[in-house]
Structure 1
Amino acid sequence: MKTLSLFPLTSPMAMFTRIAMSEVPGIEVLLSIIFLILATILIGFIAAKIYRVGVLMYGTKPTIGKIIKAIREN
């Protein structure tokens, strides 16, 4: 449960459950929030790059190789 409460995809529910069931050190709550914020920012940047590549490749059929190459170039 401790690992799940620090993993960004499951941290909101797992940390809430841990807090409800037992004492959780404040540093773990803070770490959970920081990891969640960092993961959100990172996924946002990745999604923006993929979207930009998709817009630039409008009209051509994208392959995985072309998408990865375009992301690395930008």
Structure 2
Amino acid sequence: MSDQIRTAIAAADGDEPLAALRRLRALHADLARAEAEQVRRARARAYSWVAIADALDVSRQAAHKKYGRR
């Protein structure tokens, strides 16, 4: 787990719950964008959907459904 995630979780424990949810949601959105970018990079380097799915710990079909044809 990254330091940024640990910090966000620790901060959320002491925060007003709705403010914490907003910050965690923003972090989630940042992570989703970063994941999508890495999938694009992997595909550009000819990695298979099987290899990408394995790295994401999902099925090939799930990876392709989420990131295929973007």
What TM-score range do you get, normalising by the shorter chain?
0.3 to 0.5
Q: Which has the larger radius of gyration?
A: 1
Which of structures 1 and 2 has the larger relative contact order (alpha carbons within 8 angstroms, sep 6+)? Answer: 1
Report the TM-score when normalising by structure 1. 0.46
Report the TM-score when normalising by structure 2. 0.48
